[in-house]
Amino acid sequence: MSLVRTERDGPMAVITLNSPPLNLFDRAMTEELMAAFEAIQNDPPRGLLVRAEGEVVSGGVNVNEFKGLTAAEGTRLWEQLLGLIDRVEGFPFPVVFAAHGLTLTAAFELSLACDLIIASESAHFGLVEIVVGLTPSMGGPQRLAERAGSGRARQLVMTGGLFDAATLERWNVVNEVKPDEEIDAYVATGEPLRVAGAFTIDSLGSAFITGVDGDPHAVVGISVALLRQLVVELGIPWHTLWNRANL
C-alpha cells in the first residue's frame, strides 16, 4: 500500500497521507512525500490540498528513526525533512492543509509551510518534541513566530502542549475552523482552493515576503503584475479593480 496518495481533479491536486492509524513520519513516508511533491512541482497544478486518512493527521516523526543513528546519518535525515518543508513553502501555487484529530511535530511543521490551514473544531496541534528531549528543527518555531508572534511561538515550543483549533485560529495560526461534521464535505468541494483556480501566487507570495522583509515600495510593481493577471484570467475590468483599490 502506498503511504502517500496523489490525486488530480481538473486543475487541482490532492496529496493524502495514507498510513493510518498515526501516519507517522518515518523514512518511507518521507521519501514518498518527497517523490509526490517533486512530481507536483514538475507538473504544477493551480492549487494543492494536503490532507490525511484516518482519525488523526499524524502523530509526528517516528522516534524509532533516531535509534542508532550516527551524527552523519542524523544530519542527512534532518536535511531530508528540511528539504521536504522548504519544497512545499516554495511552491508557486496555493497550498492548503486540512487538519483533524491530532497534527503533531513534523506534520504541524509541514502545515505551517502551507499557505492556509483549515481545521476541524476538534483538531489539536502540538510541537511536542520537548517530551522526548528534542527541539522542533524544521522551521516550525520561526513560521509560528511569523503567524502568531514570538511570544506565542515560545509558548507552543517551550510547553510542548496541545492547542485546539479555536485557540490557534485566534492566534492567527489556523486560518479557518469548521465543524467536525462539515470539514470533509467542505474540503471535498474544493472551496478552500477556489482562489487557486484564478491565479498562481508567484507574485502574491513575493509581495508578502518583500513587504515584510525587504523594500515595501518594491511591492507596487509586483502588485500591478498581480492585478494584470486578475484582469486577464478573471475578466475583471481594470476600472473596477482601480476603484476598489483606490489607486
Q: What is residue 126's predicted lDDT score, i.e. its pLDDT?
A: 97
CA dist., res. 16 & res. 169, Å (int): 23
Q: Are 137 and 200 in contact (CB under 8 A)?
A: no
Q: What is the mean pLDDT of each run of 10 residues along the chain (247 residues)?
A: 92 95 94 96 94 96 85 84 92 94 97 96 96 88 96 96 98 96 85 59 48 46 48 50 43
Count the neighbouring beta carbons within 10 Å of the beta carbon of residue 228. 13
Delineate the domains of the chain, giving CATH numbers in brackets. 4-196 (3.90.226.10), 199-245 (no CATH)
Q: pTM for the complete prediction?
A: 0.81
Q: What is residue 42's predicted lDDT score, i.e. its pLDDT?
A: 96
Nearest in space to 53 (alpha carbons), one of 29, 35, 37, 34 = 29
Q: What is residue 177's predicted lDDT score, i.e. its pLDDT?
A: 97
| Nearest-10 Cα torsion for 180, 29, 41, 127 | 60
Q: Given the C-alpha cell 499524524, which residue does it identify? A: 58
Q: What is residue 246's predicted lDDT score, i.e. its pLDDT?
A: 40
CA dist., res. 167 & res. 80, Å (int): 31
Q: What is residue 155's predicted lDDT score, i.e. its pLDDT?
A: 97
Angle, vertex CA 62, rays to CA 132 and CA 18, nearest 5: 145
Q: What is residue 9's predicted lDDT score, i.e. its pLDDT?
A: 84
* Cis before 94? omega within 30: no
Q: Are 143 and 152 in contact (CB under 8 A)?
A: no
